[in-house]
Structure 1
Amino acid sequence: MPVEKVLVVGGGITGSVLCLALAQRGAEAELVELSPQWFGVGHGITLQGNALKALRSVGVLERVLARAVPFDIMRLRRADGELITELPTPHTGGPELPSTAGALRTDLQNALCDAVYAHGVRVRLGLSVERLDQSSDHVDVTFTDGSTGRYDLVVGADGINSRMRAHLGIGTRPHPVGMSIFRVVADRPAEMDCAEVYYGGPRYKAGYSPISPDQCYAYLLDENLDASLVGPRAPLGLLRERGTGYGGTWGKILASLPDDTTVDYRWIEAILVDEAWHRGRTVVIGDAAHACPPLIAQGAAMCAEDAVLLAELVTGDEPVEQALEHFMARRLPRVRMVLENSLQLAAWEIAPGTPGADPAGIMSRTLNSLTVAA
């Protein structure tokens, strides 16, 4: 029997897309989000074609692309800005969609939030799950505010630091990859028309992507600095210091940042739950089950694909447990390939000059393999 009432825990990309996909199929979705305010983090995001395909399937792509910047190539440059090569990017969402789009994460999340409300999904903010009690045909949930509910299925879409994993008895935890990232949103230079990456400088690499008609997202991949720096308000002076040595448009962006620029700094972590993601009528998906370094820009795509496929399977004719097994069988090989290749890229960044290193090759092979439907 298809599920009729689903609790979705976590209101990010994964949870929002899942609520929309369930509502489209006639299921009642209820969303709880731990944050008392529901919005996206303000830095940029790269959406590959397969992410755009998932957004199209839940009806928000047109709004996202109204502000985003689509492009079909990326450029590799040396640290001084000299062009190394220009690479076409595979159309992982099909030939009719852009291969890539740069977007402001807030624009994407606002589009998803508005669509979730428009579909009549019940959204409750500022709470999460305190306890799960499963039976053969339902899950009873006690929330952190003391309220309760009964559902046919409970989905943990609460990110890389998921609390739902523990509720399911999954002990896998994220681990540092060995590199960190500085992120800023800046004015978009007139010459910027696609994503570009700078190699060979004093850090692992630098890059940027256009994300709106007048804004861009710029980043610097570095070694792991003091953990006390991690957060949304890292010192701009530190980014300027660490970014010294990069020229071209990246250097221009860095020099132009006003003193009140918000700098987000994070250690990059990864996780893959290599056992079943489900227990009875509960399951974790998206970054709660798998999260990779952002080196192939497939994080959002893997999460959105999870959500669309899960909604399709659990609203079909199979029993819930069988649908979850089929979901796992289809998703695990795909996300494992993306994660392992992303980790390989990170290892090559950390140890430049590794014999046999082929970053462009592994990125191309990964994206080409993703042109096959999820």
Structure 2
Amino acid sequence: MSTSPAVLVVGGGASGCAVTVLLRRAGVAVDLIEAKEDWNATAGSGITLQGNALRVLRELGVWEHVKESGFGFDSVGITAPDGTVLHVNRDIRTGDDLPATMGMQRPQLQRVLTDAVRASGATVRLGTRADTFEQDDEGVTVRFGDGSTGRYDLVVAADGLGSATRAAIGVTDKPEPTGMAIWRIAAPRPAGVTRTDLAYGGPAYIAGYCPTSDTTLYAYVVEAHRDRASIPPETHADEMRRLASAYGGCWPEITEHITDPAKVNYTWFDRLLVEGAWHRGRVVLVGDAAHCCPPTLAQGAAMSLEDAWVLAGLLTSGRAWDDALFQEYYERRIPRVRAVVEASVQLGQWQLDGVRDADVPGLMGRTMTMLRELP
């Protein structure tokens, strides 16, 4: 490795931004490329961040911005489809003195992270893809979509679930659908919504919402996945409103705002867990490029952020950037990520199978208690 290492980060989502900021803090030169011209500035409705995700955001130096922009709470309500509150659970804190849960508008979180990347001094190229990676013992030569090339000591693949980098380096694992899908929308927050409430049953498996600021929330309904081609985009608002209209409590007020199909997001649940190693030579995977899970535990972003934290810590430890270091990264992450992926998938599978006596509270409690430990 050269005396002044250079890293290419492919992908400007949560894990890519996080690893960039942490490496730049240690003086590592970082180029970040992102395929989308707008750097995902408007993508998504909302996101649930639990304490272990907030812990990494605090390490990045952006916690105060997140706290100002989001909505923190410490409990979750379980309701009947008509809105009757059946039980309120105190959330397990996974981030020390931080809130158990923070709801946030996803574009707002992206702005906080991209501002931090800009402030770090990293070089950012938007609308740019990496086409090929030629490796030797010293580094990686990358050819970009515009024909230019760059030479790096390491490439961090943070390009998401459909990672082209993962495929380019010969990792054959691909995401697989779990059988569920989710409808999401951002909407004004009714005054009575101060936590996540989840209704089980009715026409959907789950109907829930999460406050994302003093004035906003995101709402979602989960059903069995359908052929996307059978649902024209112009009908998305109608489809989500049809499902949501069966629920009571705050749902009628929320449903009034499900009118614009362009603001409704329909996504299948997928699972992915790359086994054996998360690197090939000097290209290493982080976040959704290495693993993903259904949002039944709201841990997807947290696992991605933790990857970035652990990898950056190893890369800035003074050790050689070699197979032993990258394998240690994998071995530190895999037990924790595997537990989250398997639990998240199991929670959904119990619903798909109609298992009425499933130990949902036990599985969630065991998993969240494990996440209180540092990664």
Return the TM-score normalized by structure 2: 0.95
Following the alignment from structure 1 to structure 2, what is the Cα–Cα distance between the partners of residues 369 and 18?
A: 24
Task: Give, in whole Å, the separation in 2 of the partners of 1:342 and 1:260.
Answer: 28
Match of 2:312, SS? helix
Give the whole-Å Cα distance in 1 for the aligned partners of 2:231 and 2:155.
Answer: 32
Letter of the 1:279 counterpart:
R
Amino acid aligned to 2:334 = L
Is 282-291 or 312-321 further displaced after alignment? Answer: 312-321
Task: Tell whether the 8 Å contact from 1:233 to 1:263 is kept in structure 2 after alignment.
Answer: no
1:43 maps onto 2:45 in alignment: yes
Verify the 8 A CA contact 1:206 1:250 in the aligned structure 2.
no
d(CA) in 1 for partners of 2:123 and 2:228? 37
CA deviations on 1:50-93 (whole Å, 9 max, x unpaired) are 10000110111111111100011111111111112111111111
Residue 63 of structure 1 aligns with which residue? 65
Q: 1:85 to 1:49 in 2, by over 3 A?
A: same
Deviation at 1:220, TM superposition (A): 0.3
Residue equivalent to 1:318:
319
CA gap 1:129/1:231 in 2 versus in 1, 3 angstroms: farther
The alignment status of 1:100 with 2:101, answered yes or no, reads yes
* Alpha-carbon shift at residue 259 of structure 1 (Å): 4.8
Distance in 2 (CA, whole Å) between partners of 1:366 and 1:299 is 13
After superposition, residues 105-184 of structure 1 pair within 5 angstroms as 105-184=106-185
Counterpart of 1:48, as a letter, is Q
- 1:183 deviates by 0.2
Are the structure 2 counterparts of residues 56 and 230 from structure 1 closer, same or farther at C-alpha, using a change threshold of 3 Å? farther
State the one-letter code of the partner of 2:84.
E
- SS of the counterpart of 2:256? helix
SS where residue 284 of structure 2 aligns?
strand
Q: Quote the residue 2:92 is aligned against.
A: 90
Counterpart amino acid of residue 62 in structure 1: E
Structure 2: unaligned runs, 5 residues or longer: none
Determine helix, strand or coil for the equivalent of 1:14: helix
Deviation at 1:340, TM superposition (A): 0.2
Distance in 1, Cα, partners of 2:264 & 2:232: 9
SS in 2 for 1:248: coil
Return the match for 1:53 from 49, 52, 55. Answer: 55
2:70 and 2:63 map into 1 onto residues whose CA distance is: 10
SS at match of 1:202: coil
The match for 1:72 is 74
Number of residue equivalences: 372
How do 1:224-243 residues align onto structure 2 when only pairs under 5 Å count?
224-228=225-229, 235-243=236-244
Inter-partner Cα distance in structure 2 for 1:329 and 1:165? 19
Change (3 A) 1:258 1:298: same
Task: Check whether the contact 1:52–1:93 (CA below 8 A) recurs between aligned residues.
Answer: yes
Q: Secondary structure at the match of 1:97?
A: coil
- 214-223 or 35-44: bigger deviation: 35-44
Shift of 1:232: 7.4
Change (3 A) 1:74 1:39: same
Cross-structure match for 2:26: 25
Aligned to 1:278: 279
Q: Percent identity?
A: 43
Question: What SS does the aligned partner of 2:55 have?
Answer: helix
CA separation in 2, counterparts of 1:199 and 1:3? 54
SS at match of 2:143: strand
> Which one-letter code corresponds to 2:104 in the other structure?
A
Query: What is residue 252 of structure 1 aligned with on the other side?
Result: 253
C-alpha distance in structure 1 between counterparts of 2:259 and 2:163, whole Å = 35
Q: Distance in 2 between matches of 1:218 and 1:231?
A: 21
Structure 1: 4+ residue segments shifted above 3 A: 229-234, 255-261
Instruction: Output the CA distance in 2 between the equivalents of 1:154 and 1:73.
Output: 40
User: Counterparts of 1:297-308 in structure 2 under 5 Å?
Assistant: 297-308=298-309
| Aligned-partner Cα distance in 2 for 1:232–1:137 | 48
SS at match of 1:190: coil
In the alignment, the residues of structure 1 paired with residue 355 and residue 82 of structure 2 have an alpha-carbon distance, to the nearest angstrom, of 19
- Kept in 2, the 8 Å contact 1:232–1:262? The answer is no
> In the TM superposition, what is the alpha-carbon distance from 1:258 to its structure 2 partner?
4.1
Cα distance in 2 for partners of 1:3, 1:184 equals 45
Asked if the contact 2:44–2:265 (Cα under 8 Å) also holds between the matched residues in 1, the reply is no
Query: After the TM superposition, which of the residue ranges 283-292 and 124-133 deviates more from structure 2?
Result: 124-133
Quote the offset at 1:261 in angstroms. Answer: 6.6
Counterpart secondary structure, 1:192: coil
Q: CA deviation at 1:270?
A: 1.2
How big is the shift at 1:353? 3.0
